[in-house]
Structure 1
Amino acid sequence: MDQQPMTAHTAARGEPDAGTPTLDAHLVVDRAGFRLDVALHIGAGEVVALLGPNGAGKTTALRTLAGLIPLSAGHLTLAGQDLDRPETRHWTPTERRPIGVVFQDYLLFPHLNALDNVAFGPRRHGLDRRHARQVAGEWLDRMNLTGQSRHKPRHLSGGQAQRVALARALAVNPALLLLDEPLAALDARTRLDTRAELQRHLAAHPGATLLVTHDPLDALVLADRLVIIEDGQIVQEGSAATITAQPRTDYVARLVGLNLHRGQADGHSVRLGADFSLTTADRHDGEVFVAFPPSAVALYPHRPDGSPRNVWPTTITGIQRHGDNLRIQLAGPIDVAADITPAAAAHLHLAPGQPLWASVKATETRVYPAPISGRQR
């Protein structure tokens, strides 16, 4: 099959030097009282997940990379080519960027069938109708959607529409693939199957991939590296193992399911407030984080016998189902979450406002140094 126009397009965008990331960006955007200031570097074949709470700047970052928002400062270099560099007034419009985007709602063209939706990108990049449809047909075959090629979006299931959108983004051989909450619109069962399918396709994609998501499971399963942003700045980045082992903000701790507190360590004791300390198994001195899972917090209707070292009075502020257990939100000298079984909850007759005693074993805590400067909890 003759794909010379696509090959010419790919070559024209250039390739980064050996060792240079496919995406090299310092995104600085000033908008109505909000400033995004984030450095992103993604290598060829690497999948990076961008996570953060609502309003953190994830969407602004994605729209800036796509060319929908110009940089205020910084730079955006992709595959060795500057796409946006304000200091030299260089800016490449959206349609000329070697970028594929899968939006949360897919945004398939309703008047086109699946084949022509996928063929749209190759047509825009120089292929004639026949060759563009050949490329689209091959991508639909890879997505196991050959039988749906003539179906319009309204006749596709959510999972099928997601795969058509992914095929459309990949059909232009993008240097950078942007995924904006790609699984958010799917039901739980379809999400499970589609996540596995997406993982397979991302593993085969030779370019860089940025996944923007709220879902920690999507990030942990699909990404090689996580970048966490809050208030327009990076607060933590690294492998999933690194971040889950040592979260550094409340948001990251909730993301990975840990209680997190910052305090002053003196040997095996960490002071978390004026009148409250935790005994820990690890010995440290100075500013530290103390982390422990909700499953490590034990609850009692009365002060437990034997007076374990880490015990304190607390009050229930909320009760939610969490998988097969209940997650109990507790206020006291420190605010924590505890996971207990429904049977234990029934035995304790739990209700919001109820006073309890909480404890955590020293051996269940994890202590690690907190940065002296930077974002404080």
Structure 2
Amino acid sequence: MTPPTPPAPPASPHALDAHLRIDRAAFRLDLPLTAAPGEVLALLGPNGAGKSTALRALAGLLPLTAGHLRLDSTTLEDPATGLHTPAESRPVGVVFQDYLLFPHLSALDNVAFGLRCRGADKKTSRTEARPWLERMGLAEYAESKPRALSGGQAQRVALARALAVRPRLLLLDEPLAALDARTRLEVRAQLRRHLAEFEAVAVLVTHDPLDAMVLADRLVVIEDGQVVQSGTPSEISRHPRTDYIARLVGLNLYQGTAEGRTVTLPDGEQLFTTEELTGAAFVAFPPSAVVLHRTRPESSARNVWQLEVGGLDLHGDQVRADLTGPLPLAADLTPAAVAELDLAPGTKVWASVKAAQTHAYPA
């Protein structure tokens, strides 16, 4: 009797299913990465963390040492079997930081270029490219050369070029970094709208936490080639797990041992919170929760330290004070408060934080 055929394994719910392993002389990227259809991932991390390496691997520009890369259940790369789909054969679109438009081609022909590479003739590619320029609000610039475009317009042409080939994976490499602040705000809003309409997977690499928080559904934070935290923007911003992430989302972060509502840090300093925990814990609070005084305060705040001003920097419409001492921290003040307290590098101050303004969670 012929044994029954075993059922086929269930299809992956992920449009992107990858484990990117790349070994170099002094660096290893070991990055599992999955995304559902329509999901926008942002890769964040300090310089040298492996973000650009990951993007190059996804694009097919850098072969994997081990692991795999599957897109829509199709394997594009598997070092164990020797499979490596070249970059030009992958259903991938890329938007670069510096646009990389062809200077001798019009905006329309730049958008049509990818379609020509996929085999369309000149007339067909231009016909299919024109609606993408219209969607970007650039119909009137169809025949303009890149030198006649503003930075924001050039970046929208680059996005149209990437989307025109209908990629199943869209890679965005610092797409807003070259724009000035005002243009960045406008293009970010437009990019968010286009990504919301994109039914495939998008992966964004950025150093700007605001870009990541606004554009991405999920953040993947990489340090030293490894994932240190992954989650929605709200999860990451509320529960940072490394100093880098805390700085990224603008929080003071400490790790220690909790007993009840007290968290003792490794050097013996204590932080008082309103949450009750036992064991390894993080404590976080925003710089805006810190109140500075020239003399020891007589307030109800239980967290009080004498510190020294290490530096003062403009931070938006606030002044960010970096304080050194038993508990190094950052505090945000108005320029008027800085003047009233007569703060300068080297000034001795008292800092207080109410327990209710701290947030403790398991490490």
Q: Does 1:22 align with 2:15?
A: yes
> Counterparts of 1:206 and 1:143 in 2: how far apart (Å)?
17
1:222-246 CA distances to partner (integer Å, 9 max, x unpaired)? 1111111111000001111111110
Q: Which residue of 2 aligns with 1:351?
A: 344
2:149 to 145, 153, 156: 156
Superposed displacement of residue 309, structure 1: 2.1
2:119 to 115, 120, 126: 126
Q: Which residue of 2 aligns with 1:92?
A: 85
Q: Which residue of 1 aligns with 2:217?
A: 224
Superposed displacement of residue 274, structure 1: 3.2
**CA-based RMSD:** 1.3
Which amino acid is 1:88 matched to? Answer: T
> Counterparts of 2:160 and 2:10 in 1: how far apart (Å)?
28
Verify the 8 A CA contact 1:273 1:333 in the aligned structure 2.
no
Superposed displacement of residue 79, structure 1: 1.8
The two structures have a TM-score, normalised by structure 2, of: 0.96
Q: Which residue of 2 aligns with 1:115?
A: 108
1:20-72 CA distances to partner (integer Å, 9 max, x unpaired)? 21111000011230100001111111111111111110000001111111001
Q: Which residue of 2 aligns with 1:330?
A: 323
> Counterparts of 2:215 and 2:303 in 1: how far apart (Å)?
38
Q: Does 1:82 align with 2:75?
A: yes
Which amino acid is 2:112 matched to? Answer: A
2:176 to 183, 190, 199: 183
Q: Which residue of 2 aligns with 1:167?
A: 160
> Counterparts of 2:214 and 2:299 in 1: how far apart (Å)?
43
Verify the 8 A CA contact 1:103 1:180 in the aligned structure 2.
yes
Identity rate of aligned residues, in percent?
62
> Counterparts of 2:229 and 2:113 in 1: how far apart (Å)?
38
Q: Does 1:292 align with 2:292?
A: no
Q: How does 1:1-377 map to 2 (within 5 A)?
A: 20-306=13-299, 308-370=301-363
Which amino acid is 1:95 matched to? Answer: E
Which amino acid is 1:303 matched to? Answer: R
Which amino acid is 1:249 matched to? Answer: T
2:80 partner SS: helix
> Counterparts of 1:203 and 1:246 in 2: how far apart (Å)?
26
Superposed displacement of residue 273, structure 1: 3.5
Verify the 8 A CA contact 2:11 2:73 in the aligned structure 1.
no
1:107 partner SS: coil
> Counterparts of 2:269 and 2:201 in 1: how far apart (Å)?
47
Superposed displacement of residue 306, structure 1: 5.0
Superposed displacement of residue 17, structure 1: 7.3
Verify the 8 A CA contact 2:303 2:355 in the aligned structure 1.
yes
Superposed displacement of residue 19, structure 1: 5.0
Verify the 8 A CA contact 1:57 1:232 in the aligned structure 2.
yes
Q: Which residue of 1 aligns with 2:5?
A: none
Which amino acid is 1:169 matched to? Answer: A
Which amino acid is 1:229 matched to? Answer: I
Superposed displacement of residue 18, structure 1: 5.6
> Counterparts of 1:127 and 1:144 in 2: how far apart (Å)?
24
Verify the 8 A CA contact 1:100 1:172 in the aligned structure 2.
yes
Equivalenced residue count is 355
The two structures have a TM-score, normalised by structure 1, of: 0.92
Q: Which residue of 2 aligns with 1:9?
A: none
> Counterparts of 1:24 and 1:225 in 2: how far apart (Å)?
15
> Counterparts of 1:76 and 1:152 in 2: how far apart (Å)?
37
Which amino acid is 1:347 matched to? Answer: E
Verify the 8 A CA contact 2:146 2:154 in the aligned structure 1.
yes
Q: Which residue of 2 aligns with 1:13?
A: none
> Counterparts of 1:275 and 1:102 in 2: how far apart (Å)?
49
Which amino acid is 2:242 matched to? Answer: T
Where in structure 1 do 4 or more consecutive aligned residues deviate above 6 Å?
Answer: none
Superposed displacement of residue 279, structure 1: 1.3
